[in-house]
Amino acid sequence: MNEFDIKAAEWDLNPVHIERSEAVVEGIRRNLSLNSDMRAFEFGAGTGIASFLLRNDFREIVMIDTSVEMVRIMNEKLKSHGADNLKALYFDIDKEEWKDGRFDLILTQMVLHHVTDIRALFSKFGNMLNPGGYIAIADLYPEDGSFHGEGFTGHKGFDTKKLVADLDEAGFMVISEEKCFEMKKKISENDIRHYDIFLITARLK
């Protein structure tokens, strides 16, 4: 059981997770031309908060995660909401090749800093998109390592100029790069930190 399996049951009870997803979704709607014929893919969907907010904007949204418990929670929500156009799957994009059709949008929120090979991921995203398809990436601006604390081996946020360059190299044209949310996190009893979240949207060239 990984850390996200442990956190899954109470994930949606944290208002920050809801508010952050609402800000990301608002930015996606503002910067991209969406229509209900489109098919979307959420990478590292967690409990699927963003996809549930977007469910009326798309014909279908596939939500994937590598946490068994997060996928279980998503499937419970699918039943209770009657969200027939959403699909939740356990899928590891590092180990498996996606073969079930292409998408018009790939979105990911607060997942990229866990990914080791960013360029390889962008290349995979490009292969999963229809011509002219979009990606939307929300994650942390550079931070001091306090967001996850000691022992975290991922990225301590991102220089968005570097990400834009990596996207360009992977065949994407950036549409927008903006701060979309500021979140507070309690590090210790007397230490509450503020972290800025960016949203980058881009289109496959």
pTM value > 0.85: yes
CB atoms within 10 A of CB 8: 22
Cα 205 to Cα 11, 41, 94, 129, 175: the distances in Å are 36, 19, 24, 11, 11
The fold of the 3-204 domain, in CATH, is Rossmann fold (3.40.50)
Ordered alpha helix ranges (H), 139-190: 160-169
User: pLDDT tens across 120-164, in order?
Assistant: 999 999 999 999 999 999 999 999 999 988 889 899 999 999 999
Q: Where are the domains of the chain?
A: 3-204
User: pLDDT tens across 27-46, in order?
Assistant: 999 999 999 999 999 999 99
